[in-house]
Amino acid sequence: MTPRERFLSILNFEKPDDRLPMVEWAAWWDKTLDRWKQEGLPRGITWDGSLEHFGLDKLVCISARPGPVSHRGGLITDEASYEAIRPYLYTDSIIENVKKSAADLKPRHDRGEVIIRLWLDGFFWFPRTLFGIEAHLYAFYDQPELMHRMNRELAEFNVRVVEQLFPVFKPDMVGFAEDMSYNHGPMLSYELFKEFLTPYYQWVIPHIKKYGVKPLVDSDGDITSMIPWMKEAGIGGAYPLERQAGVDIKVVRRDYPDFLMLGAYDKMVMPKGEAAIREEFDRILPVMKSGGYIPSVDHQTPPGVSLENYQTYTRLFREYAEKAAERSLSKVL
């Protein structure tokens, strides 16, 4: 099977013929790469080259995000300041750029060599990037009309992206950037989620699903209690499912058997050596076998992980990815 075929089979709760996908959903920290290069990773190696070096499948992100990347925000304080920057947000050039990125990747994608994730801004993330973290949380109460306007216009933009891109290039998944939880659960109440996020997800997601593409949400922290909210909004899964924040994927699989998952491998065990790395794979193996779950580090690999330990991780990753795809003799017969 090709990397893309494996990935899509998992998203459809099917079992690949040979092994599960082996992906890093996000790039490594610069400090992690600097350490590895000091320990023997070839200097000047590209992202593609590093994935090949470690024997990982190529999961590539293309982005159609209208806002700034940083959470620091502070670009707007009210409707007037939003109006001032609005001409720079929902532009045709963003859509043309993502279409160009997709066209460049299309030959490799068609051959199944790369897996494509389309990154869209979500309806918690986007206002925060403009307001800044604290002002954003106040804005739910102090400026609800502006919050609705911003999310309505973001939804309109996201639909434009989907309807202009998907007829010529269909990604393998859509990931909505959100980061709306921390290690004690959600940063907002269900009531706020239902008023300010759900209507806009329910607007955009049918456009995604009609092309057969799965929508997932990228949210750090413990999202467990939010899963019913996400399902109500039409969201099909989540990542990176941080273990240190309290996410237990066995519980998630038990309670939400049709919810897609990506991530969940505890990055904090990786500096501890082979026994700990193997123990963590043993922990997640039952869920790997259950389908609908793509194992990956539950965030970027931290610089505390040596090159030797990361190579141990990828070696054991392949072993367990193959083990999870094994069919019992009774099923074969």
Residue 65, domain member (yes or no): yes
Q: What is the mean pLDDT of the chain?
A: 94
pLDDT of residue 29: 87
Q: What pLDDT is recorded for position 82?
A: 96
Position 69 pLDDT exceeds 90: no
Tokens of 129: 């990037």
- pLDDT-derived band at 332, boundaries 50, 70, 90: very low
Q: Residue 71 pLDDT more than 80? A: no
Assess contact for 315 and 257: CB atoms under 8 A: no
Parallel/antiparallel/unpaired status of strands 114-121 and 173-177: parallel
Q: State the Cα–Cα distance between residues 11 and 156, nearest whole angstrom.
A: 26
Identity of the amino acid at 19 = R
Q: Measure the CA–CA gap between 225 and 234, rounded to whole angstroms.
A: 16
pLDDT in the model for residue 252: 97
What pLDDT is stored for residue 16 in this prediction?
96
> What are the C-alpha distances in Å from 116 to residues 58, 66, 123, 214, 252?
8, 19, 22, 12, 25
| Distant-in-sequence, close-in-space partners of 269: CB < 8 Å, separation ≥ 6 | 276, 277, 279, 280
The pLDDT assigned to 8 comes to: 98
Q: Is residue 38 part of a domain?
A: yes
Is 331's pLDDT higher than 70?
no
Strands 181-182 and 185-186 turn out to be antiparallel
pLDDT per residue as tens digits for the range 103-141 = 999 999 999 999 999 999 999 999 999 999 999 999 999
Closest alpha carbon to 300 in 223, 242, 260: 242
Contacts 24+ apart (CB under 8 A), 211-216: 211/162, 211/166, 211/170, 212/170, 213/166, 213/170, 213/171, 213/172, 213/173, 213/174, 214/11, 214/173, 214/174, 214/260, 215/173, 215/174, 215/176, 216/173, 216/174, 216/175, 216/176, 216/260, 216/262
Q: Does residue 312 lie within any of the structural domains?
A: yes
Domain count, the chain: 1
Q: How far apart are CA 309 and CA 303, in angstroms?
A: 11
pLDDT tens track for 190-238: 999 999 999 999 999 999 999 999 999 999 999 999 999 999 999 999 9
Structural domain for 105, as ranges: 3-326
Q: How high is the pLDDT of residue 328?
A: 47
Instruction: Give the domain CATH number at 74.
Output: 3.20.20.210
Residue 158 lies in a domain: yes
- Judge contact between 125 and 177, C-beta under 8 A: yes
Q: What is the pLDDT of residue 27?
A: 79
pLDDT tier at 90, thresholds 50, 70, 90: very high
Average pLDDT over residues 286-290: 96
321-332 average pLDDT score = 70
Q: State how far the Cα of 2 lies from the Cα of 62, in Å rounded to an integer.
A: 20
Does a structural domain hold residue 331? no
H-state helical runs in 210-271: 227-233, 249-255
Q: Is 333 part of a structural domain of the chain?
A: no
User: Does position 327 have pLDDT exceeding 90, yes or no?
Assistant: no
